[in-house]
Amino acid sequence: MDNLSVHQWLRGGEMVLVGSHTLPRENNQLRELLTELQQNHACCLIIKYINNSFELFPNLIKFSEKIGLPIFRLPKQTTYLEIMNDVNTLLFRERQSRHLAMLDLIHLLKTDNPLDQDFDYLSSLKNIDLYKQDVQVVQIIFHATLTPSQRVRDLYSLTGQLHTIFTTAVHQATLSTYFVIETASGATAILFMAPRQRKDKLSTIPPYFRSLTQIQAAYTDLYFGVSDIQPARQLQTANQEASFSIKVAKLFNPQKKLILFHDVALW
């Protein structure tokens, strides 16, 4: 960050690196800057102390914790390049791991009789025997045809909101774990849960599904199709149910954006 015009260059998700000499000295101005970074979805702020005259007051650190914007202090002898080399290494490993997981998930979504070993890599990532879990699929699609730049922006926003909702559900033990697959027209969420819930209780919508209806995209409406709960080996069936739910939503009730297969199976 070489200037304070955050709205002109921040797109969301960035780790913001800044020298202390660039930051304003006034407490109120710093608070406003932190707020603007948080509102524009910066990942965190990393401050390199160029001189000893700058100090972040304890009340500002507490304020950053309150608004959920992590702040890190970079030692004077450490360069930006060292930090970014480490970050890029971690991102590359994570990207490779995610890519392999996506390949396995796509295979499972299309396979009508998967084997236990088909879940081995995914299970190792989550440290859970996923083959023994129950699963539910949520398909999310964009209602309108978007330009490439609009699609990238909405997809980034969508997946970020999905991760927030489902990570919270995992922490609350209402989900065992989850995966989100980005698609050309939206995303597919695969939710693993245990112990098995009875399908006839699906009409009671879990709390995290209510959160889905609050998700916003900048350029278009979203449709959500939700499958019944199935054993993990029937992941293909769950995927077909979610896809069918979206088709019914678009044909018969475009105002209701979250449709359960449980409610439309008769169609």
pLDDT at 53 over 80: no
79 confidence band (pLDDT: 50, 70, 90): confident
Q: What is the pLDDT of residue 33?
A: 93
Tens of pLDDT, residues 132-182: 999 999 999 998 889 998 999 999 899 989 998 999 899 888 899 999 999
pLDDT at 63 over 80: yes
Query: What does pLDDT average to over the chain?
Result: 87
Higher per-residue pLDDT: 210 or 203: 210
Q: Which residue has the tokens 């991760």?
A: 163
Q: What is the pLDDT of residue 203?
A: 46
pLDDT at 74 over 60: yes
Distance CA 238, CA 244 (A): 10
Distance CA 191, CA 197 (A): 13
**68 backbone φψ class: left, alpha, beta (φ>0; ψ -120 to 50):** left
Q: What is the pLDDT of residue 253?
A: 63
DSSP letter for 87, please. H
Q: What is the pLDDT of residue 119?
A: 95
Asked which of 143-152, 153-162, 195-204, 256-265 is least confident by mean pLDDT, the reply is 195-204
Which tokens belong to 96?
Answer: 């490779």
pLDDT at 194 over 70: no
Sheet strands (E) in the chain: 15-19, 44-48, 71-74, 134-142, 177-183, 186-193, 222-226, 230-231, 258-260
Read off the pTM: 0.71
50 confidence band (pLDDT: 50, 70, 90): confident
For residue 261, CA distances in Å to 224, 239, 255 come to: 11, 11, 17
DSSP letter for 242, please. H
Which tokens belong to 139?
Answer: 């398909």
Which tokens belong to 248?
Answer: 């019914």
Within a 10 A sphere around the Cβ of 100, how many other Cβ atoms?
13
